[in-house]
Amino acid sequence: MNVNPGLPPTNGDDATRLTGTSFAVLTLIELLGPSTPYDLKQALERSIANFWMVPHTTFYAEPTRLVKGSFLSEQQEAGGRRRKVYSLTDAGRDALDRWRSSPELTPPQLREEGVLKIFAGGDPIPIFRERCDWHRAKLAELEGYLEAVSGDDPAWNGVRSSLQVGVAYNRMMLEAMERFLESQAASGTP
């Protein structure tokens, strides 16, 4: 599937293919306004990283790549720490609008190391117990984020919706693993 619907693979002479990471950066800057790399990293960890993992090195390099493709502008502070501040350009806003309105999606992926360990012969009981603890903590974290963005501001509708999906997903995973553990306990498996 095309992750870059309706967009040319190049912008001028620079080949700037837009990826999920590109759209994550563009979306955060749209929500936050002009942002430093640190601002983006903090926002990523509290939002998108809950459903779209991006390696930090890739994420830090992406704004510079998007500047080269004219999707972002960059300004450097004149004094102090001379931080770079990124802003959306018209081309970046247009690309983001086309991407989010396209019905095309890449297939979902389950990247769960615990399931891989079980497939490789690992004992599912301690693995699922550990994951249940993790899902409980993540559920509490996401519910806290959801509480923090409750309100009527339509600019945050997408954030609220994605958090609701994250809460439902973690509940579903927790319930599935707890059912497995309960069935093992009922069958006498320690």
* CATH code at 20-101: 1.10.10.10
Query: Of 22-36, 60-74, 150-164, where does mean pLDDT reach its minimum?
Result: 150-164
Contact between 5 and 98 (Cβ < 8 Å): yes
In the Cβ-directed half-sphere of 154, how many Cα atoms lie within 13 Å?
0
Show me where the domains of the chain are located.
Answer: 20-101, 113-186
Roughly what angle, to the nearest 10 degrees, separates helices 20-32 and 90-101?
120
Cα dist from 189 to 126, 132, 149, 166, 175, whole Å: 12, 18, 43, 31, 19
Residue 72 has which token pair?
């972002």
Determine the Cα–Cα distance for residues 88 and 179; give it in Å rounded to an integer. 46
Cβ contacts of residue 8 below 8 Å, gap of 6+? none
Percentage of residues of the chain with pLDDT beyond 90 = 63
Residue 144 to residue 149: CA distance in whole angstroms: 9
Q: Is residue 16 classed as helix, strand or coil in its secondary structure?
A: coil
pLDDT tens digits along 79-138: 888 899 999 999 999 999 999 999 999 888 878 899 999 989 999 999 999 999 999 999
Predicted TM-score (pTM) of the model is: 0.74
